[in-house]
Every structure is written in structure tokens, then in C-alpha cells.
Amino acid sequence: MAGAIFGSLLTLSTFGESHGPAMGGILSGCPAGLTLDFEAINFELSRRKPGQSAIVTQRKEPDGVKFLSGIYEGVTTGTPIGFVVENANQKSGDYDHLKSVYRPSHADYTYEKKYGHRDHRGGGRASARETVSWVVAGAIAKQIIPKVKISAYVSAVGPHEYTGQIDELALKQVEQNVLRAPDLIWAKEMEEFIKSVRKEGDTVGGVISCHVDGVPLGWGSPVFEKLHASLGKAMLTINAVKGFEYGSGFQGAKMRGSAHNDLYRADGRTQTNYSGGIQGGISNGEPIFFRVAFKPVATLMQAQEVLDKDGQIKTQGGKGRHDPCVVPRAVPIVEAMTALVLADAYLMDRTTKI
């Protein structure tokens, strides 16, 4: 199965199923002559892969990428980059109990009613396994725009929000804890909280914040390719995402214009950054920042009501290997999708200049 996930000049199409032999993708539009850092690509995959801690799914996948085309002697050729990531630990039998039922808050029912049938094994295109291809493409996109620094981190778990300072030191701590939070003490507290939720057979949601530095003035377009709209669409494409806000976001709705306006300095920079680095759909040279809200994982390890194909409501318990909280593994996915949007905006900006 294949589908275009992201596309303008830089286009990603993906294929494969979570229970199949591999997931893969084709990234078109990558400039020729780019020397790729393969270690950086595999590092991003290691951040997303399952089984990396006690607070994520225990599915074991090595998640090594194999490139098929578009690269010669480590350098991009300008032709589409094809790649696959093998699924080494799929267990289709774990989903046999789902063949004739529709789980609440999953895509089971909508998929079958739209397409007339569905493959119940692993969630199909709604499976988070789909995102492994996005991370590969995003890791390449980061290398197209090396001067841009994308830093995402977990800023809330359930009702618990991190309110401490975010600076360079805090961001360095993100990869030093399994939660991927900017504070080691808070991360440990949230780790224990997630473990307690898991013991109850339940799940919990959270928020990922993302800060982007190094985007120059002028990326994005006034109408159809507004930079914040492209970022929003990319984030809302990610499995389990329920909300996106940039800059002041929903808090801005509570403010008056006299307090919310970003007044200029003489050099064109702004005194504040309620705009979140984007004005009129175009980057203004200030840091870009946004927040992404993730719902609790819909599969519970406790009994709940489901609908069967005969229209009967029945009680059924959850099975299989699932994340009690998705946000720790979603941090590299948020960064990957951000990189795809910004690399595409960079390429689009190049076409408008002589």
C-alpha cells in the first residue's frame, strides 16, 4: 500500500504495512550533491524505535534503513531516494481478536466503511509504524537545511505540565532521559507516573513543544503555502495528534492587541515573539515555536466496550504491545515532520530568487 504523505517540491511517498516485511518510502526533490550523514539518519531512527525503555511498547525492532536508489557513494544524485526499513518483530496473530470488531477511537470502523474492507492486523495505514519512513525522510531533510536547529521535547504528560525554563542547557537534557523532557527531575517523576498508568492497564496523553532556530526571514507563502499552515498540517498528520498551536496559540485569544503586538526594533527584529516566528504565513527571522497535543493511546490493557460486525456491543480486553504514552517516541517524529516542511520551504524560496 502506498500514499503521498508530504509533498510540494520535496515529496515523500510511503509504502508497506506494520505487519508486512518492511515499511519504506520514496523521497523526491532532494537536491543533488548532498553528502549524507548515515549515522545521523540511524540516530534519528533509534530515537523513534520501540522497546527503548519501560514506558514505551516492548516490541523489538532494530529499525535499520536500507537505501535502494538516489544515492551514489554517499552523495545524493537528484533522483528519487528509495529506502526500506524491515519489520523484524511483527506478530500478526496478536490482532486475531480484532478481525470482527471495531475498537473505540481507532480507525477500524471508518476505514471499513470508506473502503469496504480492512486489514485488521496492526492498524494498517493508521499504525504508528508508518512514521518510521517519515523519520528517515526527516533525517535527510535536516541535512538539506543544516543551519536550522530543530529541538522538540516533552512538555506535558496528562495534567502535568513542565513550567521550568527552556534554555540551551535544558535542551541538552532531552536525550539524557527516557521521557525526552528538558528536566531530569521532572522526567523521572513523569516516568513513574506513566508506569503507574500502565499498571492500571490505561494510557495517558501529553504535549510536545518544538523550538526552531536559524530560519531566515522569507520562508513560506502568503496564501496556499503559509508556513504555519504547512506545519499544522504536518503535525496533524501524525498519529494520535489532537491539536496544534504556534506562537501565543490559544493563550493569545485571551490578550488585547496592545499587549499581543510584537513591536519592532530598529534592525527589523521584534521585542517579543507572540507571532511564533511567522507573520502572514512567512517566517520573520525570529525563532519558530509551537506545541502539539497527543491523545491517550486508544488501545487499553483493560476490558472496554467494542462494536462487532453484527452491530452488537460487547466487552473485550486489549492485547498486544502498545505504548502507555506515545509522546517520548513522538519527539523525533515531530522533528522529522518539521524538517520536511522547512526543507521544502527552503527549496521553494530558492525558486523565487534569481
Could you tell me whether strands 71-72 and 75-76 are parallel, antiparallel, or unpaired per DSSP bridges? antiparallel
For the cut 80, the answer to whether the pLDDT of residue 120 exceeds it is no
- pLDDT, tens digit (0-9, with 9 covering 90-100), for 131-160: 999 999 999 999 999 999 999 999 999 999
Q: How far apart are CA 205 and CA 244, in angstroms?
A: 14
Q: What is the mean pLDDT of residues 168-188?
A: 95
Instruction: Label residue 263 exposed, middle or buried (CB < 10 Å: 0-12, 13-18, 19+).
Output: exposed
- Selection from 324, 42, 53 nearest residue 179 by Cα: 53
Q: How far apart are CA 122 and CA 107, in angstroms?
A: 11
- Selection from 238, 176, 205, 161 nearest residue 323 by Cα: 205
pLDDT at position 20 is 75
Place of cell 533509534: 46
- Taking CA atoms, 24 is separated from 4, 15, 112, 188, 341, in Å, by 12, 5, 24, 35, 20
Contact 210, 138 (CB under 8 A): no
pLDDT at position 320 is 64
Share of the chain above pLDDT 70, in %: 91
Confidence (pTM): 0.92
Q: How far apart are CA 272 and CA 238, in angstroms?
A: 30
DSSP assignment, residue 248? T
pLDDT at position 219 is 97
pLDDT at position 344 is 96
Q: By mean pLDDT, which of 33-37, 121-125, 231-235, 265-269 is the weakest?
A: 121-125
pLDDT at position 2 is 41
Mean pLDDT for the chain? 90
Could you tell me whether strands 149-157 and 81-86 are parallel, antiparallel, or unpaired per DSSP bridges? unpaired
pLDDT at position 93 is 62
Domains of the chain: 2-351 (3.60.150.10)
Q: How far apart are CA 292 and CA 297, in angstroms?
A: 15
For the cut 70, the answer to whether the pLDDT of residue 60 exceeds it is no
pLDDT at position 68 is 97
Instruction: Label residue 242 exposed, middle or buried (CB < 10 Å: 0-12, 13-18, 19+).
Output: exposed
pLDDT at position 229 is 96
Instruction: Grade residue 354 by pLDDT with cuts at 50, 70 and 90.
Output: low
